[in-house]
Amino acid sequence: MKTNRFVLSLSLFLIFCIVSCAVNIEMRKKQEEASRNLGEAYMQQGDFSAALREFLKAETLYSQDPYLQNDLGLAYMAKDRLDLAVKHFKNAVKLKPDYTPARNNLGTAYLAKKEWDLAIACFKEIIDDVLYATPHYPLTNLGWAYYNKHEYMLAEKYYCDALKLEPNFVIALRGLGQMYIAMGRAADAITMLEKAVDNYPRSAESYFYLAKAYSLSNEYKKAISAYKEVIELAPDSPLAHEAEKEAEKINSSL
């Protein structure tokens, strides 16, 4: 009888511990979610240090949230801590293998690290996901990765695939224009880059590459005009300083 009472008491104690533990985990999850939400608000404001503090606080409460791990990756990437960003994006994907935005962010971090083949592997997994809402992003990223590997035929394929889905997607238009410049295809580059500035006239980078395309086709007055747009749109930036130098070279050679 004493043995039965002991077993019963032990069972009740274990049940109490399990229930108590479950309640505690739920409380920690709610606290973690509150900190994560606050961190995301800081991210939207561009205060990445404050965001990171909240995300790290949330992680001490409950680290198994894939959305938190993705947020940590974004915060570290914003602070140019790419190795830490990769670590957390990997954590997010491990916790939730179908978390395609986190996989896309992992690929983007690899692009920033210039680890082209690892980036390509990530993006190819994403484009096979028929449920992913914005496939033109990973397609464009594949174009950029192959462009940097100097595999221009593949780069062109993926950029064009992206533009079939979103014909005015400025990043793909600009990337394709850059690639055509590298291939010496001035007319094709101008077509893409003129479309890019028409759709997004505040893009100094698009005007910069358009100027290069004009120079490649010996349209120097148009090139100088495009370089002036860069300087006006992004004064005192490294791109503006480069535009000034390129415009001076053209003026001195005319």
Average pLDDT over residues 205-226: 97
Rounded to whole angstroms, how far apart are CA atoms 55 and 229? 40
Taking the C-alpha atoms of residue 52 and residue 95, their distance in angstroms, rounded to an integer, is 20
Task: Give me the pLDDT at residue 4, please.
Answer: 52
Q: What is the pLDDT at residue 30?
A: 83
CA pair distance 170, 177, nearest whole angstrom: 10
Which domains are present in the chain?
168-254 (1.25.40.10)
Residue 12 has pLDDT above 70, yes or no: no
Q: Is the pLDDT of residue 191 over 80?
A: yes
Q: Is the pLDDT of residue 251 over 80?
A: yes
Q: How far is CA 54 from CA 8, 31, 50, 63, 137, in A?
A: 44, 11, 6, 13, 29
For residues 133 and 162, the answer to whether their CB atoms sit within 8 Å is no
User: What per-residue confidence (pLDDT) applies to 22?
Assistant: 47
pLDDT at residue 8 is higher than 90: no
Average pLDDT score over residue span 108-124: 97
- pLDDT surpasses 50 at 120: yes
Whether pTM exceeds 0.75: yes
pLDDT mean across residues, the chain? 90
| pLDDT of 72 over the 60 cut | yes
Mean pLDDT calculated for residue range 184-192: 97
pLDDT mean over 68-95? 97
CA atoms within 13 A on the CB side of 15: 6
CB distance 49 to 58 below 8 Å = no
Q: 84-90 long-range contacts, Cβ below 8 Å, gap at least 24?
A: 85/109, 86/110, 86/113
Q: What is the mean pLDDT of residues 110-129?
A: 95
Share of the chain above pLDDT 90, in %: 80
